[in-house]
Structure 1
Amino acid sequence: MIDSKGYRQNVGIVLCHSDGRLFWARRTGMDSWQFPQGGIREHEDPEDAMFREMYEEIGLTADHVEVIGRTQNWLHYDLPERYIRKHSYPVCIGQKQIWFILKMKSSECCVRFDCSDKPEFDGWCWVDYWLPVDEVVFFKRDVYRKALSELGEMLLSDTVPVSPEGYLSQAAVPVLR
């Protein structure tokens, strides 16, 4: 759904390991990594969209995770001009997202990418909490920083560094699973 200002309603999913590391997924056929995310359908609430998208993209269900919380408000990002499809209607200029933070309760072997006709991802790994802020495509970085800052407060303080400052200069390269 695209709102009257041109933003597609969307959910973002931050899946957390018990040690505070995050699920980081590689987009199919690309050297591009991101959190699972996807659009909200008409008459679908954000939590239902989150569970649907999580299953479609990474094969997990509500039984595999514990919902810790969500962002209080919509977080927005604008698409760069070159990504805006000006000949489609309505024109989408960016996304507005509700972000959820979840804790993995099941085994990693439950993750799968074959739950939709067109898989979004072809690999994944656990990464340090703040690495995604520096590694995601440039136009999503501010939203990632805001989401992780707000959601990190919902986790135990000893599992998440307080801010990305200092961490980002020593970020490690993810190891693919």
Structure 2
Amino acid sequence: MDPILYKAAVEGNIDVVVQNKDQLDVKVTPNNNTVLHVVAQFHNNATCVKEILALQSSLLLWVNVKREIPLHIAAREGHYDVIQALIECAKALGEETLTRNFTVFSVVSHRSQMDPVLYRAAVNGEIAVLERKQDQLEVQVTPNRNTVLHVAAQFHNNSNFARGIHALQSSLLRKQVKDSKVGSDWLRSC
């Protein structure tokens, strides 16, 4: 990738990206990152992501040398708006465009294990992403049968982070109790 295009991606300058629209799938960094990977790393700008994918939708599933797609990078950086834009674009493309191993929240990693985006957010301590996706925390499980919250707790030995995880767990518990119609006396005892 030439320095001008890279700088434009880092700065979120979509005009330069549009000027290179015919070469977006061949202009990559030495790590095989596309402009979409770079934007996902440096910006939480859904509009920019949508414009890039409108120009070249194949970038959505482009895998870099670390076996990451732009969705992984956005999750690692805590860019929730970019995550949402990537998911919306994936849904808009339809199932026939997506590979069998790709689902909205997970990609098969190089070790043939599921690598959930929420897992990446947990490993990187992105509580904001976890808070916004509370409804999926209870169903996201690693190959070792740990939930995303288990992973977050393992990777971060920090009191502020622990309080955030505790708040998420409490919120999930309250939702589960409410949904199952278990008595509120039991909930107050927790």
Q: Report the TM-score when normalising by structure 2.
A: 0.29
Larger radius of gyration: 2
Name the one with the larger strand percent.
Answer: 1
Tell which has more relative contact order, 1 or 2 (C-alpha 8 A, sep 6+). 1
Name the one with the larger helix percent.
Answer: 2
